[in-house]
Amino acid sequence: MFPKTGNTFQNTSKKLNPQVEYREAIWIALTAELGGTHQATKTTMRWTGVSERTARNWISGSHAPAGEHLIELIRNSDAVLSAVLILAGRREANALARLDVVRTELHAMLKAIDMIEGRESPHRE
């Protein structure tokens, strides 16, 4: 029988390498917003100015953007912004950013309802 030394194995599923966690978060955000199609690659290229191969690597999750490319993704993608804020531990800021998106979507829906009903409301611009 082996003596108990007190050493235990860490649960590695909860402690990911920050680089892996970041890469996976960007991959999930891009595929959730754009899908995994060729059009998603083209959109990512247009947003950031990167090559097709680089965009495909981000969308497949094998690599992640850095620096100015991350900023361009955040500028164009609510999903990437949300992922970065959550990774940074800024859930409150993420909730506030989502409120702006919801407000914009709600405004568009109210405008569409007004058009369907055949009336324009001057206070909803």
List the chain pLDDT tens, one digit each, 125 residues: 545 554 444 444 445 566 678 999 999 999 999 988 899 999 999 999 999 999 999 999 999 999 999 999 999 998 999 898 888 887 776 677 677 778 888 999 999 999 898 876 555 55
Centroid of chain to Cα 118? 37
d(CA 84, CA 69): 13
d(CA 110, CA 123): 11
Q: Is the dihedral of CA 95, 99, 101, 102 positive or negative?
A: positive
For the whole model, what pTM was predicted? 0.63
